[in-house]
Structure 1
Amino acid sequence: MKLTVLGCGRWGTFLACYHSARNEVMLWGRPGSRAMAQLKAERKNSYIELPEQLQLTEDLAGALEFAEAVIISISAQQLRDLAKKIQALPVAGKTFILCMKGIEVESGKRLTQVFREEVTQPVRLAVWVGPGHVQDFSAGIPNCMVVDSDEPETTDYVVENLSSDLIRLYKGRDLIGTEVGAAAKNVIGIAAGMLDGIGYSSLKGALMARGAREIARLIRAMGGNELSAYGLCHLGDYEATLFSAHSHNRQFGESFVKGEHFDHLAEGAPTVKALVKLGEEYGVDLPICKTIYSMLYEGCSAKEALPRLFQRTVKGEFDY
């Protein structure tokens, strides 16, 4: 298979390197980006060294022409702009795989909706989400992830061609739940980091249980299968997000409550804005999301706001 990866951050670069062992792979980065400049100059980044056969380019047209399947791994809020550029090029018949998690803040739309709005050519589209960090995969530690699409045959195609012993891919059958669950787990990751930062780490078990329940309610209201919240896209990704030292979202939450600077991308920070909007739109109470929003954007104190989450009015655990 000829495969192009759009996005040369840590996850995109790893995927390009890993899949180049069995496929012809080209890695694209934005012209002038620091990450691509480093890769071109040193053939490595902080996490991985590039194999000789991996091709690098800043030419989007050439990168798209090269491949039959295209992985996109960029910031979720940049997807619409990239999709507009893709639409201007001949890509009919190709398969696009969104290896990214988030919801567009301005519209509250899932990433596949954003992509389909801008790329109107006949292409196949899937998402690839779930647990796993570059540092662990690079050390040979396996994990399981999930692929989903609005076309089951596209899901099958991606899983059959890109699954491996290191990254075992499962087939999702609920695109709404898979996308919302994957995006929302980053918000729960920020909450976990905040608990770590104020010394309340023992509450992360309760956070896991209530977080999955909260997002299940939202998925159900949006027309998805609430059980997806308990699958690989969300609950299955909690260990990698709520506990791992590698998680940018958890690190961001901890740094935030400690008043420390954090200069890496934490997708949960913009995503929580979109989730609060969706909760209002669909009439779903999202206490964890609203609490994180209040601390990030309204100046609420973590030591006051976080404990209150677990002191709410008593009700049945699985009541709606």
Structure 2
Amino acid sequence: MNISVLGCGRWGSFLAYYCNSVGHNVTLWGRKNSRNFNALKLHRKNEYLILPDEILLSNSLEDSFGTADVIIISISSQELRGFAKKLNLIDNKEDKIFVLCMKGLEASSGSRLTRVFKEEMGNNINVAVWVGPGHVQDFVSGIPNCMVIDSENIDITKRLVNILSSDLIRFYYGQDLIGNEIGAASKNVIGIAAGMLDGLGYTSLKGALMARGTREISRLVGAMGGNSITIYGLSHLGDYEATLFSEHSHNRKFGEEFVKNKKFNKLAEGVSTIKALIELSKQYDIELPICNALYRVIFENADVSGTLINLFLRPLKFEF
């Protein structure tokens, strides 16, 4: 099968590497002046992996688009709408399967990424998400994990699982697109909070954070019409180890560096997702205490230690 991966950062380059390893013809697209793409073009490697010679590198969206049966997109969540507008100018979209591999929400609207994509590409587009735990550094070392593929069309979900499964990644069929998208995005927010607790020396509170984080997001998913139980699956709770504890997690590291007044130069999708979740909390009238606390700390310069400690020492209430 012909697969094109659009986006050549840490995750995109791995997706191309992985799809090639399970027997597909792969094209990896990157922007012409992209530092990541130029490094791959010159050396066939980045700090995480070496690209096999069979993977074709391209700067042409039209060429990458034209021959592909499956198009995997791995770019910044906040760039998706503009990127989809460009893709919409290319013909023969309806016979492709698009797979979104970003874990985020549109900050300005709170919209799920599949909704953003369909708003720009049309409702007849076949679009799925690929979410769940796993770091490039672990995968390229041969450490396996479990992930989820979900879409509104179970036949598309099953087809993708069948062509992508391997001993390295065991895929599960997703059955709740709302829950899996919100869960995958919001676990990055909980990851930022975990990093802040690490930076403050309050690591022992991460257990409470995990328990309350899942409850908070499950209420939101239920209000949005999804299955609140999905949050206890791979897209959210199942990704906590990789996000709340791993040294490889950009979101956890951002939180830790933030409380130490250090600048973090890599993409932490959870920062924009905080804004999106605050927007959703207003739309659905759902209280999101952790998200609100992080918003006050990051965007309103509230005291980090006092705000987070007060979060866990709120007035007495029943747990459930």
TM-score of the two chains, using structure 2 as the length reference: 0.98
Task: Give the equivalent residue in structure 2 for 1:92.
Answer: 94
Q: Which moved more, 1:180-189 or 1:154-163?
A: 154-163
Tell me how far 1:121 sits from its aligned partner.
Answer: 7.1
Match of 2:77 in 1: 76
Q: Look up the SS of the partner of 1:205 in the other structure.
A: helix
Q: 1:265 matched to which residue of 2?
A: 267
Separation (CA, whole Å) in 2 of partners of 1:160 and 1:205:
36
* Structure 1 unaligned spans of 5+: none
Deviations 1:99-148 (A, max 9, x none): 11111011211000000000027331100000000000000000001111
Q: Partners of 2:207 and 2:128 in 1: how far apart?
A: 31
Residue 178 of structure 2: aligned partner: 176
For residues 181-260 of structure 1, what are the structure 2 equivalents within 5 Å?
181-260=183-262
Which amino acid in 2 is paired with 1:5? V
Are the counterparts in 1 of residues 187 and 236 from structure 2 also a CA contact under 8 Å? yes
* Equivalent-residue separation in structure 2 for 1:296 and 1:112 (angstroms): 27
Coordinate RMSD, CA, aligned: 0.8
- Provide the residue aligned with 1:150 in structure 2: 152
- 1:48-84 CA-to-partner distances (Å, cap 9, x unmatched) read 0110101000100100012100110110000001111
CA distance in 2, matches of 1:124, 1:92: 7
Residue 183 of structure 1: CA displacement?
A: 0.4
Structure 2: 5+ residue runs without aligned partners? none
Residue by residue over 1:198-237, the C-alpha shift from the partner in whole angstroms, topping out at 9 and shown as x without a partner, is 0000000000000000000000000100001100000000
Q: Cα distance, 1:89 vs. partner?
A: 0.4
Residues of 2 paired with 1:49 and 1:301: CA distance? Answer: 43
Aligned equivalents of 1:125, 1:252: Cα separation in 2? 30
Distance 1:300 1:264 in 2: 23
Shift of 1:263: 0.2
Counterpart position of 1:9: 9
Picking from 294, 301, 304, the partner of 1:302 is: 304
Show the counterpart of 2:104.
Answer: 102
Determine which of 139, 142, 152 is the counterpart of 2:141: 139
The CA distance in 2 between the partners of 1:156 and 1:17, in whole Å, is: 22
* Partners of 2:100 and 2:129 within 8 A in 1: yes
Superposition misfits of 4+ residues, deviation over 2 angstroms: none
Identity %: 58
Which shifted more, 190-199 or 99-108? 99-108
The alignment's TM-score, normalised by the length of structure 1, stands at: 0.98
Query: Which residue matches 1:59?
Result: 60
SS in 1 for 2:57: strand
